[in-house]
A and B are shown apart, each in its own frame.
Chain A
Amino acid sequence: MSTVLPVIQPGPQVNGGIDFDEKLAAYGLELRASSVDTLQINVGKLCNQACKHCHVDAGPSRTEIMTSETVEQVLAAIRRFKIPIVDITGGAPELNPSFRYLVPECRSLGCHVIVRHNLTVMFQPGQDDLPQFFREYKIEVVSSLPYFLQQQTDAQRGRGVFEKSIEALHRLNAVGYGVENSELILNLVYNPVGAFLPPTQQSIEADFKRELMHRYGICFNRLFTITNMPIRRFLDYLRRSGNEERYMRKLIEAFNPATVDGLMCRNLVSVDWTGRLYDCDFNQMLDLGVARELPQTIADFNPEKFAGRRVMTGSHCFGCTAGAGSSCGGAVTIE
Chain B
Amino acid sequence: MTYYEEDDLQRFAEIGKHRPDLFEKFMTWYQACQEEGALSRREKALIGLAVAHALQCPYCIDAFSQSCLEAGSNMEQMTEAIHMASAIRGGAALIHGLQSHNSVNRVSM
Per-position 1/0 for B39-50, Cβ under 8 A of A: 011100100100
The contact of B69 among A9, A149, A194, by CB within 8 Å, is A194
Alpha-carbon separation in the docked complex, A197 to B70 (Å)? 5
Whether B10 is near chain A, meaning CB under 8 Å from some CB there, is yes
Contacts of A200 in B (CB 8 A): 41, 71-72
Which residue of A has the minimal Cβ distance to B15? Answer: A10
Q: Quick one: which of B41, B48, B63, B64 has the most chain A CB within 10 A?
A: B41
Q: Are B9 and A207 in contact (CB under 8 A)?
A: no
Q: Are A2 and B59 in contact (CB under 8 A)?
A: no
Contact-size category for A: 20 to 34
Contacts of A17 in B (CB 8 A): none
Which residue of B has the minimal Cβ distance to A208? Answer: B72
**Shortest distance between the CB of B22 and any CB in chain A (Å):** 14
The contact of B63 among A3, A8, A149, by CB within 8 Å, is A8
Alpha-carbon separation in the docked complex, A198 to B67 (Å)? 10
Per-position 1/0 for B20-60, Cβ under 8 A of A: 00000001001100110000111001001000000000011
Interface residues of A in 1-16 (CB under 8 A from B): 2-10, 13
Q: Are B12 and A2 in contact (CB under 8 A)?
A: no
**A10-B13, A199-B42, A203-B40 as given contacts; A5 in contact with B34, CB under 8 Å:** yes
Contacts of B42 in A (CB 8 A): 4, 199, 203
Per-position 1/0 for A179-213, Cβ under 8 A of B: 00000000000001010111110011001000000
Whether B2 is near chain A, meaning CB under 8 Å from some CB there, is no
Whether B102 is near chain A, meaning CB under 8 Å from some CB there, is no
Which residue of A has the minimal Cβ distance to B60? Answer: A6
**Shortest distance between the CB of B30 and any CB in chain A (Å):** 7
Alpha-carbon separation in the docked complex, A197 to B69 (Å)? 8
Whether A318 is near chain B, meaning CB under 8 Å from some CB there, is no
Interface residues of A in 156-200 (CB under 8 A from B): 192, 194, 196-200
Which residue of A has the minimal Cβ distance to B66? Answer: A196
Alpha-carbon separation in the docked complex, A149 to B31 (Å)? 32
Whether B99 is near chain A, meaning CB under 8 Å from some CB there, is no
Whether A152 is near chain B, meaning CB under 8 Å from some CB there, is yes
Which residue of B has the minimal Cβ distance to A10? Answer: B13
Whether B108 is near chain A, meaning CB under 8 Å from some CB there, is no
The contact of B34 among A4, A147, A194, A198, by CB within 8 Å, is A4
Q: Are A7 and B66 in contact (CB under 8 A)?
A: yes
Contacts of A196 in B (CB 8 A): 66, 69-70
Contacts of B27 in A (CB 8 A): 9-10
Contacts of A4 in B (CB 8 A): 34, 41-42, 45, 67, 70-71
Alpha-carbon separation in the docked complex, A73 to B42 (Å)? 48
Whether B74 is near chain A, meaning CB under 8 Å from some CB there, is yes
Contacts of A5 in B (CB 8 A): 31, 34, 67
Contacts of B10 in A (CB 8 A): 7, 13
Q: Quick one: which of B13, B60, B71 has the most chain A CB within 10 A?
A: B71
**Shortest distance between the CB of A195 and any CB in chain B (Å):** 9
Alpha-carbon separation in the docked complex, A10 to B64 (Å)? 16
Contacts of B34 in A (CB 8 A): 2, 4-6
Q: Quick one: which of B10, B30, B63 has the most chain A CB within 10 A?
A: B10
Contacts of A192 in B (CB 8 A): 69-70
Contacts of B16 in A (CB 8 A): 10
Q: Are B35 and A6 in contact (CB under 8 A)?
A: no
Q: Quick one: which of A3, A10, A149, A204 has the most chain B CB within 10 A?
A: A10
Alpha-carbon separation in the docked complex, A4 to B12 (Å)? 18
Contacts of B69 in A (CB 8 A): 192, 194, 196
Alpha-carbon separation in the docked complex, A297 to B40 (Å)? 48
Q: Are B9 and A199 in contact (CB under 8 A)?
A: no
Beyond A5-B34, A9-B12, A200-B41: 16 further Cβ-contacts under 8 Å?
A2-B35, A5-B67, A6-B60, A6-B67, A7-B9, A7-B10, A8-B59, A8-B60, A8-B63, A9-B27, A10-B16, A147-B74, A192-B69, A194-B69, A203-B40, A203-B72
Between-chain CB contacts (< 8 Å), 7 pairs = A2-B41, A4-B71, A5-B34, A8-B30, A196-B66, A197-B70, A199-B71
